[in-house]
């Protein structure tokens, strides 16, 4: 009789928590190094956060002449201009620094179009003023902070404060690790990057809650089992679900990463990295942190719950 395929053997007994000395060093590096990268190298803010004009063009030649385009635009007196390939060899992205007024911003676009003439196809023109960009930065930061606070409150009420603090600490680990990827590779950090961070937070939290729920069940079931062994048991019991969920999602994102084009490359890469680092933090960060925080067994004892009668029978009046 066919019993199905087990992605991870059901009797897996990996000593995850026993490796915490090594994994905490790795986790510290994944938290501290990104902060150093952001402070020294900085993020490559996109037009959403930096303000200015973004013009995407496609040349008629098989490969765009970036030097020729730069020579035509550099003498227009419109401030800093960045020119780079974008996707196909004949696709070019032109970034123009924010201008003092809206009229000058529109005038810079007209100057670029006049300089390039009819030899190119204009595929996209976006203008973001400095006021809007500042609002987007503030809004994106608030969105991430509010999401974290909401998660803290949710996990605290559903479990205990130790679980909530462990969840937030591991999610901060995921966020800083992903931001560090943007700083290291100088990927464009824009609104889609904020969307990627929020998605990673939600996805990673879902996995952590599953493991936390199994920890709570085992705390009720095994009264005398050492906490290290109990955490290892809980992680191993949910390992098949954790690996299978993350692998299937990762495989679904790979096509976007490989053939999705330059426009969503940064988002797809951040999501792929976030899935990997989220699985890592669920196993090696969130659960072992409960050892430091001191999870209380009596908080999940049967006596701590409201009376429900015995063996499922209704309580007597």
Helix (H, G, I), strand (E, B) or coil at 263: helix
What does the pLDDT average to over 293-307?
56
162 and 244 fall within a common domain: yes
Domain boundary among the residues 80, 98, 128 is at 128
pLDDT of 315: 39
pLDDT of 314: 42
Domain boundary among the residues 102, 128, 154 is at 128
Structure tokens, 186: 């100088």
80 and 113 fall within a common domain: yes
Phi, psi (degrees; rounded to nearest 5) at 122: -90, 115
143 and 121 fall within a common domain: no
pLDDT of 263: 67
Structure tokens, 125: 């023109």
Q: What is the CATH number of the domain that holds 96?
A: 3.30.70.3400
Domain boundary among the residues 128, 157, 190 is at 128
39 and 56 fall within a common domain: no
Q: What is the CATH number of the domain that holds 31?
A: 1.20.1640.10
Structure tokens, 81: 């201009």
120 and 223 fall within a common domain: no
What does the pLDDT average to over 30-35?
90
Which letter, b or e, does each residue of 102-132 get, where b requires 16 or more Cβ atoms within 10 Å of its Cβ?
A: eeebeebbeebeeebeeebeeeeeebbbeee
Domain that residue 85 falls in: 52-128
pLDDT > 90 in the chain, percent: 3
Structure tokens, 156: 């605290």
37 and 86 fall within a common domain: no
107 and 145 fall within a common domain: no
Confidence of residue 110 (pLDDT cuts 50, 70, 90): confident
63 and 157 fall within a common domain: no
123 and 261 fall within a common domain: no
What does the pLDDT average to over 225-238?
84
DSSP state of 284: I
Looking up tokens 């996990």 gives 155
Does 79 fall in a domain? yes
pLDDT of 2: 41
In contact, 242 and 279? CB cutoff 8 Å: yes
Looking up tokens 């020579």 gives 71
Does 8 fall in a domain? no
151 and 111 fall within a common domain: no
pLDDT of 89: 77
167 and 262 fall within a common domain: yes
In contact, 214 and 237? CB cutoff 8 Å: yes
Q: What is the pTM of this model?
A: 0.72
Number of domains in the chain: 2
**Tens digits of residue pLDDT in 116-134:** 877 778 788 877 765 555 6
CA 315 to CA 54: how far, in whole Å? 68
Does 310 fall in a domain? no
Q: Tell me the β-bridge partners of 91.
A: 58
Higher pLDDT, 150 or 316: 150
pLDDT > 70 in the chain, percent: 83
What does the pLDDT average to over 177-206?
85
141 and 264 fall within a common domain: yes
End-to-end Cα separation, the chain, in angstroms: 49
Does 163 fall in a domain? yes
Does 1 fall in a domain? no
Confidence of residue 136 (pLDDT cuts 50, 70, 90): low
Confidence of residue 168 (pLDDT cuts 50, 70, 90): confident
CA 208 to CA 257: how far, in whole Å? 26
Mean pLDDT of the chain: 78
């Amino acid at each position: 009789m066919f019993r199905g395929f087990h992605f991870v053997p059901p009797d897996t007994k990996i000593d995850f928590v026993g490796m915490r000395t090594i994994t905490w060093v790795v986790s510290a590096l994944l938290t501290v190094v990104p902060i150093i990268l952001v402070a020294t190298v900085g993020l490559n803010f996109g037009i959403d956060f930096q303000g200015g004009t973004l013009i995407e063009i496609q040349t008629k030649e098989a490969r765009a002449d970036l030097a020729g385009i730069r020579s035509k635009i550099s003498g227009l007196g419109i401030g800093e201009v960045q020119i780079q390939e974008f996707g196909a060899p004949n696709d070019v992205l032109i970034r123009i620094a924010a201008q003092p007024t809206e009229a000058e911003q529109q005038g810079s676009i007209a100057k670029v179009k006049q300089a390039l003439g009819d030899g190119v196809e204009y595929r996209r023109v976006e203008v973001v003023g400095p006021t809007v960009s500042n609002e987007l930065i503030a809004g994106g930061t608030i969105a991430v902070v509010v999401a974290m606070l909401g998660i803290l409150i949710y996990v605290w009420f559903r479990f205990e404060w130790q679980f909530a603090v462990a969840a937030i600490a591991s999610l901060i680990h995921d966020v800083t690790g992903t931001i560090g990827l943007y700083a290291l590779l100088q990927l464009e950090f824009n609104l889609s990057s904020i969307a990627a961070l929020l998605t990673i937070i939600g996805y990673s939290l879902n996995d952590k809650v599953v493991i936390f729920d199994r920890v709570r069940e085992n705390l009720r079931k095994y009264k005398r089992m050492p906490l290290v062994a109990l955490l290892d048991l809980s992680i191993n019991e949910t390992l098949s679900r954790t690996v299978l969920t993350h692998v299937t999602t990762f495989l679904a994102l790979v096509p976007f990463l490989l053939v999705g084009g330059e426009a969503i490359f940064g988002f797809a890469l951040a999501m792929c990295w976030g899935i990997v680092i989220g699985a890592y933090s669920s196993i090696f960060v969130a659960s072992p942190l409960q050892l430091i925080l001191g999870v209380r067994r009596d908080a999940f004892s049967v006596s701590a719950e409201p009376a429900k009668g015995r063996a499922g029978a209704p309580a007597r009046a």
